[in-house]
Amino acid sequence: MAPLLSVKDLSIGFGKDDSVVRDVSFDVAAGETLALVGESGSGKTVTCRAVLRILPKAAQIRTGSIQFDDRLGSKELVHLPERDMRDLRGNQIAMIFQEPMRSLSPLHRIGNQVAEVLWLHGRKSEAEAKKEVLACFERVGFPDPERTYSSYPFELSGGMRQRAMIAMAMVAKPKLLIADEPTTALDVTTQAQVLGLMKELQRDTGMAMILVTHDLGVVANMAEQVVVMHKGRVMEAGAAEPLLSAPAHPYTKALIDAAPKIPAAAIPTGVPAQQDLILELNGVSKTYSMRAGKGWKAPSLIYACRGVDLHLPRGKTLAIVGESGSGKTTAARIALGAEPPDEGGEVLFRAKAGADPIEVHKMDRIARTAFQREAQMVFQDPYSSLSPRMRILDTMIEPLEIHGIGDRAERREKAGAMLQMVGLGQDMLMRYPHAFSGGQRQRLSIARALMLNPSLLVCDEPTSALDVSVQEQILRLLEEIRDQKQLSYLFISHDLAVVARIADEVAVMRRGLVVEQASPETLFHNPQHPYTKALIAAQPEPDIHRPINLQLVAQGAGRPEDWPEHFRFSGFEAPPLVPLEPGHKVRCHV
């Protein structure tokens, strides 16, 4: 049988430059999933867009053919007239994009945007289309389709928006679905559920799928065929199982090695003795009040953090893990003194071993300045955390200027030394940030944070905007610096696998509460809390024999009111955090 889609020797270039995609060939059979894998800049996105011919204006398909074979006969998509192409788009070949928020128009109701596909392809009356869309909404898991139909995108959460995008792609029952990093912007538990949904829908409808991703874990869970791309060329292609278990190409091997893994099983290490603590959060809560829409209603309260106790020993790494909205970033901001905790909470900081603790939120201006020298932050997005209008040198020495340390020559020398320390060259000091890649920029942010010789570094998802192989390098750098300079890290992440590697202790947060806390070995070897189990289960791994256990994910990532009785919240009331064994705390009823 002829494949549904057959791409042959495809080359695509921008303007007069060299081709960014070179001689790419692959086939997709009906009902099959093909994964296009690669890092940013590998050409995978351009390739999949070429199939729908929605390339940027400057790009042109130079050579090659794209054959699409629906039942009416084979079509050459490269030369198909635009009008016929339009009939295919959304109808025969649909697409899901990466950012569910920005990929939906903010000003139109969801129902309108989804039903539009049916109106466009002129198959349905308005009433019929609505009926079909409602059925589709129910299929993708909206509890109240009618209400979703008349909602605006900003009223839905990220996961729900991606479900709406999937509904939009599926409603016309296409033969081929192209999904461009469909879950990259989602939390790990949401990602697992969305992937599960896509797979289920594929089984029901028998459509084929091209999955574009950088995550080999996602590939292992979804794909039958894999095409690995690097710098516009296919490095390796073939069935998923042999390719992932015995990669032939060194690049594939490197990719698989770089993917962070949760340790299969390890011996729980002993309890870290309560020794010299650099940072202590005692009973920290934070409540925000939201202005209610109507004047006479009391403002609704949001409990971002509830009674968080965290202790960070000097020279160690404490990680806070949780989904967006779990309160992990709020906890970090309070620890840095960026926000005051509610009455009753305190944050203690000891700059030197054995020094008297200072209370971070009760400092005068001078003490605060001194504290800021000791505690620095590395941010999530290396693209927006460096000023594009300042030279690297100026960005680097700014902290020294603020604190009045050294003269110009000393500052410059220090900046050069720091750059070398993070693996960049001294000669890069006079460049602007745009001349650096994502990974290099994150190195720059780390170097900047180190300029003041801090003793505490707060890292807020420092690797989540980076490619896997770069992520690996940054993590290694952070470990090296920690050991070399005796730094302590407060590490915020939603990615358990990353945390497993770098942390000495992990606190898992949900709804502002720590639900489980232990060393990573204990946590992965012997997770107790359903949410922790869900997080671990949801982590896609590049091992085709360990698929995501969706049941575990659904149970733990659901509402805390629906957790097993032992762990269940009843509304605002949550069970206490009890020590199960030394160094392992779980929030459960005793």
Partner 1 sequence: MEILRYAFYRFGTMLLTLWVVSILVFVIINLPPGDYLSNQIAELRASGQSAGVAKAEFLRSEYALDKPLWQQYLIWVGFMPGPHGFSGLVQGNFGWSFEFDRPVAEIVGDSLWLTVLVNLAAVLFVYVVALPLGVLAAARARSWVDYTSAFVGYLGLATPNFLLALILFYYGHRWFNLPIGGLMDPAFEGEPMGWEKVKSILIHLIVPTFVIGTSGASAMMQRLRANMLDELGKPYVETAIAKGMSPSRMLAKYPLRVAFNPFVADIGNLLPAMISGSVLVSVVLGLQTIGPTLLTALKTQDMFLSGFVLMFVALLTLIGTMISDVLLVLLDPRIRYEGRDA
Q: Which two tokens stand for residue 333?
A: 């901001």
User: CA-CA distance, 338 to 171, in Å (whole number)?
Assistant: 47
In the region spanning residues 160 to 179, those forming contacts with partner 1, defined by CB under 8 A, are 165, 168
- Decide whether 10 or 52 has the Cβ nearer to partner 1: 52
As measured in angstroms, the least distance from the Cβ of 6 to partner 1 is 21
For the sheet with 225-230, list strands across it: 93-96, 176-180, 208-213, 33-37, 225-230, 233-239
Phi, psi angle pair for 495, to nearest 5°: -110, 105
Residue of 2, 9, 40, 54 that binds partner 1 (CB under 8 A): 54
Convert residues 266-305 into a mask of x (bound to partner 1 by CB under 8 A) and - (unbound): ------------------------xxxx------x-----
List helix spans (H) across 375-459. Answer: 392-402, 408-421, 438-450
Nearer to partner 1, 104 or 129 (CB): 104
Which residues ranging from 440 to 469 are in contact with partner 1 (CB under 8 A)? none
- What is the DSSP track for 54-89? ---TTEEEEEEEEEEEETTEEEETTT--HHHHHHHB
Of residues 400-419, those binding partner 1 (CB under 8 A): none
Question: What Cα–Cα distance (Å) separates residue 109 from each residue in 37, 106, 140?
Answer: 34, 8, 17
Indicate the length of the chain as a whole number.
590
* Residues 231-250 as b or e (16 or more Cβ within 10 Å = b): ebbbbbbeebeebbeebeee
* Residues within window 230-249 making contact with partner 1, judged by CB under 8 A: none
Contacts of 338 (CB under 8 A, 6+ apart): none
Residue with smaller CB distance to partner 1, 172 or 487: 172
Instruction: Out of 76, 126, 146, 155, point to the residue binding partner 1 (CB under 8 A).
Output: 155
The Cα 359–Cα 362 span in angstroms is 5
- Output 97 or 563, the one with its CB closest to partner 1: 97
Q: Which is nearer to partner 1, 87 or 276 (CB)?
A: 87
Give the nearest distance from C-beta 281 to partner 1 in angstroms: 28
| DSSP annotation of 361 | G
Site for partner 1 in 332-391 (CB under 8 A): none
Binding-site string for partner 1 from residue 79 to residue 98, where x marks contact by CB under 8 A and - marks none:
-------xxxxxx--xx-xx
Q: Smallest distance from the beta carbon of 465 to partner 1, in angstroms?
A: 17
Element (H, E) at 533: helix 530-538
* Residues in 94-153 that interact with partner 1 by CB under 8 A: 94-95, 97-99, 102-108, 116-117, 120-121, 152
Check if the beta carbon of residue 367 is closer than 8 Å to that of residue 351.
Answer: no
Strands 73-76 and 93-96: unpaired
The amino acid sitting at 408 is R
Write down the least CB distance from residue 89 to partner 1, Å: 4
Candidates 409, 342, 336, 334; CA nearest to 377 is 336
Nearest to 515 by CA among 455, 568, 479: 568
- In the complex, the smallest distance separating the C-beta of residue 120 from partner 1, rounded to whole angstroms, is 5
Closer residue to partner 1, CB minimum distance, 291 or 545:
291
User: Minimal distance in Å, beta carbon 264 to partner 1?
Assistant: 39
Beta carbon of residue 500, minimum distance to partner 1 (angstroms, whole number): 33
Sign of CA dihedral 209, 204, 546, 586: positive
Q: How far is the CB of 291 from partner 1 (least distance, A)?
A: 6
> Is the separation of the CB atoms in 360 and 280 below 8 Å?
no
The answer to whether residue 70 forms part of the interface with partner 1 (CB under 8 A) is no
Question: Total residues contacting partner 1 (rule CB under 8 A)?
Answer: 34
CB nearer partner 1, residue 128 or residue 401: 128
Closest distance of CB 98 from partner 1, Å? 8
Which parts of this chain interact with partner 1 (CB under 8 A)? 52, 54, 86-91, 94-95, 97-99, 102-108, 116-117, 120-121, 152, 154-155, 165, 168, 290-293, 300
